[in-house]
Amino acid sequence: MGFKYVFIPASPNDDMQEMEYETDITELEKDSFRSFVEKFFAAAGQSADREILLQQLKERTGVDLQEKADKGEMANDMLDKLLSTSSVEIFPVQLPTKETCFQGVSVYLDDKGVAKNLEENIRVSSLVQACGYPGQTIRGDCFIGRVFDDTQDEWRRMDFTLKDCSTDAEWIHVTKMQRANRKSGDLQSMANSIGVNNPARIDPSMLADSAPKGETADYSWKQSEDEVEVTFKKEGLQKGDKKYVKVAFGRKRLRVEVKDQVIIDSSLAGNTTADECTWTLSDGVLQVTLAKADEGTWPELLEA
């Protein structure tokens, strides 16, 4: 039977399109829709600003690739190939929780939208802002899709239609409430963790280093309100080695294998929204981003 999704062009003069994916997708590990979206953005072919891309990669990975190339530690043609590779960014708008009947909604967009100076997608930006993300802007053509994820046994793609693209849609109201409750709950949780009774009086400097983080011989990890970032640094690993990297996301499990070496295969200390978890690869660095499904901070990365 398949499922419906919506394509929203960046230009407001182009019509939004309700489209149908012909086959059902009921396993996250076999999500061909995501591959379809990646191919779409790869085929778009817009040129990107090199300096902006280099800065973005440095911010994400902590590695100055241009400096490595200048020192001869990385081939220039390899750097050029890395910067020209297109991928997809997933912006999780609605998280699948009990309050949302375990339904999640995500926007799929070109991950180099800023570097390519793509036109702001006013219609998608308006939807996202109406959901409780003030000031958030989305660039370029976008896809919007919905999944069901009960965080236990069932995961599947569901219909998302043109009717859902109204700022008056019920899912947007629910998401706005979810965002408000999530922020409040996380703030209270962090307040409790550092012994502050009145979260309204928390100073940002008090919270800067309060969330647990850590480092081992194989990786380092840190967390924000919504995500956990795990960074693996491995000499000799290059962007072109993507085929040697295997990352499997479970609701409460992470497995990472690089060149037949299993680095992590363990239960996590918290639940994740597996559909929104991602990984990126650059020379020497593999970064895994875990989307939190539950409120609050993780005491550790892995379950004891």
Distances (CA, A) of 150 to 117, 138, 210, 293: 37, 28, 30, 11
Flag whether 77 is in a domain: no
The residue written with tokens 């182009």 in the block is: 14
Domain boundary among 147, 179, 207: 207
User: Do 164 and 40 share a structural domain?
Assistant: yes
Domain boundary among 190, 207, 224: 207
pLDDT tens digit string along 14-60?
999 999 999 999 988 888 998 888 888 877 655 545 565 556 556 55
User: Do 116 and 262 share a structural domain?
Assistant: no
Comparing CA positions, the residue from 126, 140, 219, 133 lying closest to residue 182 is 133
User: Do 220 and 179 share a structural domain?
Assistant: no
For every residue of 161-177, which 3-state class applies, written as one string?
CHHHHCCCCHHHHHHHH
Backbone angles phi, psi at 276, to 5 degrees: -100, 0
Flag whether 178 is in a domain: yes
User: Do 261 and 147 share a structural domain?
Assistant: no
Flag whether 71 is in a domain: no
User: Do 252 and 234 share a structural domain?
Assistant: yes
Distances (CA, A) of 231 to 60, 257, 270, 287, 304: 10, 13, 18, 4, 20
Number of domains present in the structure of the chain: 2
Query: What pTM was estimated for this model as a whole?
Result: 0.55
pLDDT tens digit string along 150-159?
877 789 999 9
Q: Which contiguous run of DSSP H or E holds residue 255?
A: strand 253-258
Q: What is the CATH number of the domain that holds 265?
A: 2.60.40.790
Flag whether 55 is in a domain: no
User: Do 114 and 19 share a structural domain?
Assistant: yes
Flag whether 73 is in a domain: no
pLDDT for 9 equals 93
Mean pLDDT value across residues 1-7: 94
Domain boundary among 185, 207, 229: 207
User: Do 273 and 184 share a structural domain?
Assistant: no
Report the range of poorest mean pLDDT among 49-58, 104-113, 168-177.
49-58
Check pLDDT > 70 for residue 203: no
User: Do 297 and 165 share a structural domain?
Assistant: no
Flag whether 64 is in a domain: no
pLDDT top residue among 275 and 235: 275
The pair of structure tokens assigned to 118 is: 């793509």
- Per-residue pLDDT band at 79 (split at 50, 70, 90): low
DSSP state of 94: E
Q: State the residue range of the domain holding 300.
A: 211-304
Whole-number Å distance between alpha carbons of 187 and 181: 10
pLDDT for 247 equals 92
pLDDT for 189 equals 43
User: Do 17 and 164 share a structural domain?
Assistant: yes
b/e sequence 201-214, b meaning 16+ C-beta within 10 Å = ebeeeebeeebeee
Q: Which of 38-42, 87-91, 101-105, 161-165 has the highest mean pLDDT?
A: 161-165
Distances (CA, A) of 86 to 54, 117, 240: 14, 14, 13
User: Do 219 and 197 share a structural domain?
Assistant: no
Beta carbons within 8 Å of 188's beta carbon, 6+ residues apart? 199
User: Do 249 and 125 share a structural domain?
Assistant: no
User: Do 189 and 117 share a structural domain?
Assistant: yes
pLDDT for 39 equals 83
Flag whether 287 is in a domain: yes
Mean pLDDT value across residues 150-177: 91
- Do 249 and 291 meet the contact criterion of CB atoms below 8 Å apart? no
Q: Name the pairing type of β-strands 227-233 and 219-223.
A: antiparallel
For every residue of 36-87, which 3-state class applies, written as one string?
HHHHHHHHHCCCCCHHHHHHHHHHHHCCCHHHHHHCCCCCHHHHHHHHHCCC
